[in-house]
């Protein structure tokens, strides 16, 4: 098994932390439901009744990601969640780089941070690459 250097570990923690803080803030804001969050959700075509559910779902995924034993599961879950966000922004015709691709940037932070701080995941991905998969 590969070791993680201090630089890799801290870079991974920082990348993961940025993504997790953004998602935690997003989830909490959906629980609090200030007017701009509700208005934004309505503009995306979702009913106001969906705001709380979306907030709970993003928080569940983020908590899974933050816990080391479930971090890979959380990353997979959040990747699906962020894929739905991408689809929503495409459907309503939002700008590509600022809205459509933003969830992709968050997913890249999630996975980049996870790969840097998780030697087992990195070994798994490198083993698959070495096999030509």
pLDDT digits (tens, 9 = 90+) for 38-97: 999 999 999 999 999 999 999 999 999 999 999 999 999 999 999 999 999 999 998 888
pLDDT over 90 (residue 127): no
Residue bearing tokens 């979702």: 46
Asked if pLDDT for residue 129 goes beyond 80, the answer is no
pTM score of the predicted model: 0.88
- Over 80: is that where the pLDDT of 108 sits? yes
User: How many C-beta atoms surround the C-beta of residue 32 within 10 A?
Assistant: 11
Query: Residue 91, Cβ neighbours under 10 Å: how many?
Result: 10
């Amino acid at each position: 098994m590969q070791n993680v250097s201090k630089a890799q570990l801290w870079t991974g923690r920082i990348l993961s932390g940025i993504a997790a803080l953004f998602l935690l803030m997003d989830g909490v804001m959906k629980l609090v439901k200030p007017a701009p969050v509700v208005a934004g959700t309505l503009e995306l075509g979702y009913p106001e009744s969906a705001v709380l559910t979306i907030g709970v779902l993003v928080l569940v995924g983020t908590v899974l990601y933050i816990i080391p034993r479930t971090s890979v599961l959380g990353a997979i879950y959040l990747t699906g969640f962020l894929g739905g966000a991408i689809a929503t922004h495409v459907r309503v015709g939002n700008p590509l780089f600022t809205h459509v691709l933003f969830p992709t940037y968050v997913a890249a932070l999630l996975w980049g941070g996870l790969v840097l701080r998780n030697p087992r995941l990195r070994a798994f991905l490198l083993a698959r690459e070495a096999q030509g998969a």
